[in-house]
Structure 1
């Protein structure tokens, strides 16, 4: 049975498939939701189709428009108890190696945009509501592998940032979590040749976000937990043989 929390969650990059499932699940736990994204129209359609209009406030947020971030935060209708950074961008590694624009966009969205807005949120000493910040990272950032190291480097940087932010905010009893995620059946992965037995559904991943507790690193799915541990322990000579 849900208890009325009277709490608010801010989801940045709320148009992703996982983020949309988070919206539903936070509302089931009686949170109010501020869903922020560049694609307002798509979010509005989702909220209307899901009949969630009374529970969700939709705002425009561009993760790479750094100059707008302070104004965005200052004008929030209520300061959040929980913040989820779910914005992400991915291009194929071969393309990223040859076209810096794709690489730059991954850096901007996956890392720089996150640091820009989360620094603003984390340093607001006046927000007594803030309890938790959750960032969506990736198994790709655990070790550098030749198939995805450009994208992986942006996620590795984000995970490192979140780890330090966790230490920074510990004295204020604010928790920070990094969701280290494997393959998800989402639009960002459409067209990629991925192992079907390792695919996770967006609503499954969302449960780990919405129910995050104290552990810094959260790896959904036991198969991915095993892969995560193996990647962490493998010597470099063996990592170099991975695809």
Structure 2
């Protein structure tokens, strides 16, 4: 592999993104790790003794849309691969009663992605760009009463990526969406989840690194079954789910 290839990870402070950083470095990539929490990333790099000569830590706020053009213009190198890993979650009861919390999810999970990825995707001067990967959720497959506010942000995210894939296809740029189930991460801390279905961040990160040509990638065979049940079930059955 060309050691000069660069991956830009937006929302790099997530647990899955951190594992992806390690794996991309192992494959010889240069990594631009972008997040609001620079200290957390610096501590992660130091603790894991990662090659700092191939990691560039940048400040990026998914919700500060007006800063996105300057952020992109200021990158030290144009990326070959872009991973959008930023995410925010509040429980549905909270989201229903607190619009600020709902809006925070909308901005982080969807609007911020559209803002920065439109900038990246329309920059035809970047002849290096070959792939854009988005981290989504099975919550966006069908609306369910337990998490439909969060799910709606992921559904919008998925539709955006589907159109982006079509838009970039003539330029031979691959677009993937990882449709992910429960992960043992800080975003899910405190939630009552089925332990038999929980995946570890490093397991999910491998699907990012090894993404092929398929648009939707569902890590883990158990979640593939759940994905198709949600996708194909009639509405009266979905309405009985929690």
User: Which TM bucket (shorter chain)?
Assistant: over 0.9
Match runs of 1:195-234 below 5 Å: 195-234=194-233
**Partner of 2:46: helix, strand, or coil?**
helix
**Partner of 2:144: helix, strand, or coil?**
coil
In the alignment, structure 2 segments of 5+ residues that lack a partner are none
**1:42 and 2:53 matched:** no
CA distance in 2, matches of 1:157, 1:189: 21
Match of 1:28 in 2: 26
Match of 2:17 in 1: 19
Deviations 1:95-151 (A, max 9, x none): 000011110000000000000000000000000000000000000000000000000
Match of 2:240 in 1: 241
RMSD over aligned Cα atoms: 0.6
TM-score normalised by structure 2 residue count: 0.99
**Partner of 1:178: helix, strand, or coil?**
strand
**8 Å contact kept, 1:4–1:29:** no
Match of 1:181 in 2: 180
In the alignment, structure 1 segments of 5+ residues that lack a partner are none
Match runs of 1:3-82 below 5 Å: 3-52=1-50, 53-82=52-81
TM-score normalised by structure 1 residue count: 0.98
The Cα shift of 1:4 comes to 4.4
Count the aligned residue pairs: 241
Match of 2:131 in 1: 132
**Partner of 2:191: helix, strand, or coil?**
coil
**8 Å contact kept, 1:166–1:176:** yes
Deviations 1:7-29 (A, max 9, x none): 00000000000000000000010
The Cα shift of 1:226 comes to 0.4
CA distance in 2, matches of 1:193, 1:172: 43
**Partner of 1:54: helix, strand, or coil?**
helix
The Cα shift of 1:55 comes to 1.9
Deviations 1:69-91 (A, max 9, x none): 00000010000000000000000
Deviations 1:154-182 (A, max 9, x none): 00000000000000000000000000000
The Cα shift of 1:5 comes to 3.5
The Cα shift of 1:54 comes to 1.9
**8 Å contact kept, 1:89–1:105:** yes
Match runs of 1:75-224 below 5 Å: 75-224=74-223
**Partner of 2:53: helix, strand, or coil?**
coil
CA distance in 2, matches of 1:106, 1:195: 23
